[in-house]
């Protein structure tokens, strides 16, 4: 069985790596900032650098916070590209810009290696459950090679186009999520200000057309006053900025995305960058003078 290198053992990467081990894959793991003792205890081997990962692996997965960290891990000094072997497939599952995908892909192509972008949706709980939605951009033959591995971490794996297409679709998802959170926030602020029990509002709305996975997932957290990040304001700012950059390159207008980015930047200024993106409701709560709680 091919050795899978796994770079990035944060809140998402760690459970994803664990699910691959449970599925019977042999892993070589590395994270510059996080320990890997728990994964080693499950059977993974510990690497000493990104270059070490690539020199010993036939397939490499990266799961890191942003474009800059992915570029550093793959193209930087001591990175994956320095030790990569001919025919190796690198699968980035982070949320990075389409431009970064193309840049990395071009470098690896010169080394006779392959690169695909496979960003995930679903958050930490779905990473733990192994039920992530994975949207892939890249060559079809390369996709088919790694698809069984991706299915070890997700319940839905779809090839949507060439390199960078997965990242574009992920950005579309993040636009929808951000705007949905804002819409839900406005609705619940309105009803709470009118004196209606927000739990009853949730029970009433969730079965109708206005119901959504976002509402079902985020309103219970808000009612409990729980803003611990499943997906942080900081990460979502990165996504929306990437979406606006892509829109600029494609001559597309995204006014709602721009408005949501400004709201999230305001929350970051107020010291809430590490909070869950449902913290958007705090802006509405401050203006209305009410809190949507049990």
Report, as residue numbers or ranges, the catalytic residues: 170
What is the per-residue burial (b if ≥16 Cβ within 10 Å, else e) of 237-256? bbbbbbbbebbeeeeeebee
| Best CA proximity match to 57, nearest among 66, 49, 65 | 49
CA distances from 175 to 26, 193, 239, 274 (A): 36, 27, 8, 19
- The candidate with the shortest Cα–Cα distance to 168, out of 234, 237, 126, 117, is 117
| Structure tokens, 255 | 């006014």
The label of the residue with tokens 């591995």 reads: 149
């Amino acid at each position: 069985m091919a050795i899978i290198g796994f770079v990035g053992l944060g809140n998402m990467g760690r459970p994803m790596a664990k699910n691959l081990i449970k599925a019977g894959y042999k892993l070589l793991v590395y994270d510059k900032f996080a320990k890997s003792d728990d994964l080693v205890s499950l059977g993974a081997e510990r690497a000493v650098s990104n270059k070490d990962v690539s020199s010993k692996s036939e397939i490499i997965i990266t799961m890191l916070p942003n474009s800059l960290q992915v570029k550093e891990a793959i193209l930087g000094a001591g990175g994956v590209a320095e030790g990569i072997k001919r025919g190796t497939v690198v699968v980035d599952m982070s949320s990075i810009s389409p431009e970064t995908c193309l840049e990395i892909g071009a470098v690896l192509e010169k080394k006779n290696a392959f690169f695909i972008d496979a960003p995930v949706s679903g958050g930490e709980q779905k990473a733990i459950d192994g039920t992530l939605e994975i949207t892939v951009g890249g060559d079809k033959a390369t996709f088919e090679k790694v698809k069984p591995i991706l299915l070890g971490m997700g319940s839905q794996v779809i090839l949507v186009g060439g390199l960078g297409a997965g990242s574009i679709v992920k950005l579309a998802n993040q636009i929808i999520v951000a705007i949905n959170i804002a819409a839900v926030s406005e609705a619940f602020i309105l009803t709470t200000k009118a004196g209606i029990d927000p739990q009853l509002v949730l029970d009433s709305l969730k079965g109708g057309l206005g119901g959504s996975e976002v509402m079902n997932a985020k309103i219970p957290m808000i009612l409990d006053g729980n803003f611990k990040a499943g997906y942080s304001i900081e990460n979502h700012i990165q996504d929306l900025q990437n979406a606006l950059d892509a829109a600029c390159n494609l001559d597309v207008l995204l006014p709602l995305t721009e408005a949501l980015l400004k709201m999230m930047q305001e929350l970051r200024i107020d010291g809430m960058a590490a909070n869950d993106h449902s913290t958007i409701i705090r802006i509405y709560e401050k203006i209305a003078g009410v809190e949507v709680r049990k």
